[in-house]
A and B are shown apart, each in its own frame.
Chain A
Amino acid sequence: MQNETGRVPRFNLMERVGHWTHAVACIFLLATGLALVFSKYGDLMGPNVLRVFRTIHHGLGYVFVFVPLGILLFGTGRTFLAWIKACFKWSKNDVGFLLGFPREFFGFKVQLPKQGKFNGGEKVNSLITMATFWVMAVTGLIMLNPEGFSRTTMLTAYTLHAAGALTLGTVLIGHVYLALLHPGSKESMKGMIWGTVSQKFAKEHHALWYDEVTSGGKAVKESGNGPQVIRKL
């Protein structure tokens, strides 16, 4: 436990596959869909590319709706539901995090309150992801199967789909920055790729969660170069 080079498991394989299928679908859907919102970008692509975009967008829409949800629900249902529950559970520390985080976002030092497995910012990101998932899925499926829907329903679906896309785009910009460019958050990227984070990162960024997984848990040193794994018993 005291070993600073030990790794703490953060996301299991199914959670990571679920995250990345959702991420890839999201990025391609935004890249193809926002061409109809940012008209200069659309003009630059031209009608032939936009027609290909349309086909990609319509096909990928079904992937977005069904694949990540299926992987998370059937592959790792217990942790999936735990994540959802955690995101709806808010404490003073989460609010404190949100108040202090803007400084950290811009690279200034700030003392943030102890966080659980998901910090206040991650909870906000997760809740927006869940909300936009339903908005995009429902409106998208209506748009792909318009028969029988009224004109107002269709126009409302288009409006909400645009609002959801622009919200997702906004969140994605911040999300990618924190994952790839922000110096303080890089270890979290390893958590989402390899599944584990360093003990140092876990302690510094998710102290409450670290305490939780280490109390009653024990470090198991694997042979060779393998990571140390702490299992909750």
Chain B
Amino acid sequence: MKTKYGMAIDLRKCVGCEACSIACKIENRVNEGKWRTRVWEWDYGAYPQVSKIKLPTLCNHCQEAPCLEVCPVKANFHSEEGVVLINRDKCIGCGYCIAACPYGARFKDAVTGQADKCTMCYHRVEAGLMPVCVSTCISHARIFGDLDDPQGYLARYIREHQAWQVKGTSTYYVLAQGMDPSLIPKELQHDKVISLWKNLVHPAGKVMMGVAAGAVLLGTAINAVKGGKHDAE
């Protein structure tokens, strides 16, 4: 049975207590001033019907993740369950993935010099626990589980509460009443600049360098055969 971990966040329930952000920092020893998950506060509606919304965000664990695409050393990878993880042995801290993430979910760990981000508490999940942001949530606003198990709690919750998927990712939001859906993270879109960079500039540049090297080899060979005269005085 395939498993695909995902998370639904019920914006009707989140009260913005930040227990998740703090628990995450403690559990994962996140650098001072950096966050793997945050709770934002936005206003919506028109006066006098104005509401505040608390909006937790985290790594959305994209399927065709831009961070995987730009990593030059293949340090980013999907776990079997679709969780985007960083291989600490491979990451050299170039920072490409930090720039490539459309959700601002990544940052540089000042201690290790490597990229850091939410792992869905993979170490806890592997041990049979919930991600710490889920188990610490006082209002049960975060639901973690297997998206591929239609009878599982997460899949049922998404169906029953008509959660919005951040398309292309493993994150779902149940909107608060009357809330503008544009407030939740945008669906994953393939970035043209990344394509230009990786699919055009790199191959074309390699061809250019290859042609130059070939020309030099050919020139050197011709000169060797001809015993080319040097500009001796």
Contacts and interface: CB of A to CB of B under 8 A. Distances in A.
To the question of whether A and B form a pair in one complex, the answer is: yes
B99 A158 contact: yes
Contacts of B206: 37-38, 166
B226 A170 contact: no
Nearest to A144: B95
A118 interface: no
Given A159-B196, A167-B205, A173-B216, A50 B231 contact: no
Give the one of B194, B202, B208, B219 with max A CB within 10 A: B219
B94 interface: yes
Chain B, interface residues (CB within 8 Å), range: 35 or more
Interface of B is mostly: helix
A177 interface: yes
B72 A42 contact: yes
A11 interface: no
B197 A183 contact: no
Nearest to B74: A39
Nearest to B72: A36
Interface stretch (A63-71, A85-93, A148-156): A148-156
Contacts of B101: 151
Interface residues of A, number: 47
Interface of A is mostly: helix
Contacts of A56: none
Contact of A50 (B92, B223, B229, B230): B92
B191 interface: yes
Given A47-B92, A159-B196, A177-B220, A167 B226 contact: no
Nearest to B204: A166
Interface string A133-174: 000000000010010000110111011001101110111011
14 contacts: A4-B233, A39-B73, A42-B73, A47-B91, A47-B92, A105-B219, A166-B204, A166-B208, A166-B209, A167-B208, A173-B209, A174-B215, A182-B223, A186-B231
Nearest first, the 6 closest Cβ-Cβ pairs linking A and B are A166-B205, A183-B228, A154-B99, A159-B197, A36-B72, A173-B212
Interface of A: 4-5, 36-39, 42, 47, 50-51, 53-54, 105-108, 143, 146, 151-152, 154-156, 158-159, 162-163, 165-167, 169-171, 173-174, 177, 181-187, 198, 200-201, 204
Interface of B: 70, 72-73, 89-96, 98-102, 113, 191, 193-194, 196-197, 201-202, 204-206, 208-209, 211-213, 215-216, 218-220, 222-223, 226, 228-231, 233
